[in-house]
Each structure stands twice: as structure tokens, then as C-alpha cells.
Amino acid sequence: MKKWNVSAVRAAKGKQKLGCVTAYDAAFARLADEAGAPIILVGDSMGMNCLGYETTLPVKLEETLSAVAAVSRGAKDALVVGDMPFGSYQCGDDAAMANAVAIIKAGADAVKLEGGAKVCALIKRMTEAGIPVLAHVGMTPQSVNSYGGFKKQGKTREDAEKVLADAKAVEAAGAFAVTLECIPAELAAEITAAVRIPTIGIGAGPVCDAQWLVMHDLLGLNEKVPSFVKKYADLASVVRNAFAAYVGEVADGKFPA
């Protein structure tokens, strides 16, 4: 199978639509990789999906590092991207550089961070230091407290212009791709046409160059999912039934035979 790197991701724009996923451990990273996922993101959505938090904000750098190491051991061909957790790049650019280096040393091929024009100096510095950056604009979940909830962005023309300007700014700063989260589909289409780097949408309509789905949502491990999600499996039932069968068989003396 093809080994994905940032050049291959950039070259796919306009030629191949990429179905990209999150994973947080080696077992699921191996399965996503074997299925041909081109990019596996060790998302800070790990906070909600694995660690039981309400938001991404409490995720610690140490938790990210250990998940990145596990995912990079499980994935062979996918590009592994480590999401910089809240606080790891808002703490001054020198500390942000050290934290990005730690994520790469843990096994990631690239880092992702949230924000547009405000983080461009950092994106430029990372890119020049050999750390590929995947940008993230539109609804940036680490700003949940500033938004007052997880709210769709870019709904008015003025806000849309800001998201478009952010996407152009991160491209100019050297990002190899840009995540567009929870923005109107028409705006995502406009941005996709306006930048030369791939756009990876999540809740941003069908016209993006690539899509993200969070692993727990697409596999049906989360019973409640955002409206744009398609569940490709119902693993919650499969797993619950398997646990119940095992617990029942032990209780009945059927296992071990």
C-alpha cells in the first residue's frame, strides 16, 4: 500500500478525495491503516472519546505523547498527525516549539494546531524547523469557552470573510493542509477553491478535498453523534453484547469450558 507523507497529501488535491480518521491507540490505528486511511490524527478529541472529559481542554501533553507513540506503532502507511493540546502552544512560541518537537519525537509525522492569522508566526517557525503543520480554522473546539459552546462559525458574510482570510493566512505561513470545522458548506467550497493546499472538512459539507470523521463516531461507539456524522458500524452494540455474553458465561460456569 502507498506510504503517505505530506507531499502525497498535497499532491492529492483535485485528484483523490481522502477519508481521514482519528485514532488514539495502536490497535485501532493498525486497523485504520490496514483499511487505507491516508491520515490518522491523534486528535485532542481523545479527551471526550477516551478520557471521559466534556471538552478537549483538559487533555495534557503527556497524554498526547503516549497516544501518539501508540498510534505511530500501529500505523505503517498512514501519515500520523499529533494534535497539539490546549495550552501546549498558547504558552509562548519557544515552549510551543519544544512541545511540537516532543510530539514529533513521540512518533508523529506532523502536528495540528488550531487558529488562523493569530498562529501564523508559529506555523511559519515550525514549518521552517522541519515540522509539518496541519492548520485548523472555522470552529476551533479549544475556543469553546470564548464561543460559549460548540457553535458553527462563518455564518454571516463578515465571519465567513474572516474564516476565508484565516485559511489563506495559514496556507501562506506554510501549513500543508487545513482543517475546516463546522462552517457552511458554501464557505468550505469557496475556501477549497481559494487555497492550493488540501482542505479537510468536518461538518463542512461535501466539497472539501478530504474529510475527517472521529473514530468513535464513525464506528458507532458514541451513541450521540453530531448530525453530519455517518455511522459505518454499530460497535457499541457489538462490544456490549460481547461483554455481556462473557460475563454471563462466566456466571453460568460455561467459560472456561
Contact set with ligand KIV (CB under 6 A): 22, 41, 43-45, 83, 179, 181, 202, 212, 214
DSSP 117: G
- Distance set, CA 36 to CA 30, 110, 177, 199 (Å): 10, 18, 19, 19
Give Rg (Cα) of the chain.
Answer: 19
Give the nearest residue (CB) to ligand KIV.
Answer: 43
CB 228 within 8 A of CB 184: no
Shortest reach from residue 176's CB to ligand KIV, in Å? 15
Q: Which is nearer to ligand KIV, 60 or 256 (CB)?
A: 60
Shortest reach from residue 212's CB to ligand KIV, in Å? 4
Is 112 exposed, middle or buried (CB count within 10 Å of its CB: 0-12, 13-18, 19+)?
buried
Segment (H or E) for 20: strand 18-22
Catalytic residue list contains 181: yes
As a residue count, the chain comes to 257
Cell 475546516 belongs to which residue?
180
Angle 45-201-209 from CA coordinates, rounded to 5°: 135
Q: Which is nearer to ligand KIV, 174 or 201 (CB)?
A: 201
Q: Which is nearer to ligand KIV, 85 or 107 (CB)?
A: 85
Instruction: List the catalytic residue out of 181, 186, 223, 249.
Output: 181
Q: Which is nearer to ligand KIV, 104 or 210 (CB)?
A: 210
Shortest reach from residue 49's CB to ligand KIV, in Å? 8
β-strand partners of 79 = 39
Shortest reach from residue 171's CB to ligand KIV, in Å? 18
Catalytic residues: 181
